[in-house]
Amino acid sequence: MSNFNADDIPPSLKAKDTWLRILFIILFGCTFYVSVFIIALLALLQLIAKLFTGQVTQDLARFGHNLGTYLSQIASYVTFASDFKPFPFSNFPNEHKNLPANWDGGNIPHNNSDAA
């Protein structure tokens, strides 16, 4: 039987930030799945609004877009593509707070500085 030697453990297994990252991955993974359910609910509400009023609800469309951005941030964090911790460790995405009041929920105007 071999003796266990603490020096044989890789430093990454002993690092506090590694274990915190694992905890955050679990928490953000759960948040991701809850958020997907919320997006499905938003889609249903928007469909009902469109069927009965002929228009989408602008606030729900903005929130849905921002929630999608949040999911993208979570995916980047849990796949180690980014060290940026999403909400609640940073602000919740609010990309379209300055859209015109008559925005119809579609054709989101993007600020594209690369366009000719």
3-12, 42-51, 86-95 — most confident range: 42-51
With 0-12 / 13-18 / 19 or more C-beta atoms within 10 angstroms meaning exposed / middle / buried, residue 99 is middle
Domain boundaries, the chain: 32-95
Alpha-helical (H) ranges within the chain are 11-14, 16-53, 58-78
What is the C-alpha separation between 112 and 105, in angstroms, rounded? 19
Task: Identify whether the C-beta of residue 40 lies closer than 8 Å to the C-beta of residue 68.
Answer: no
The verdict on pTM exceeding 0.95 is no
Res 101 pLDDT > 80 = no
Res 86 pLDDT > 50 = yes
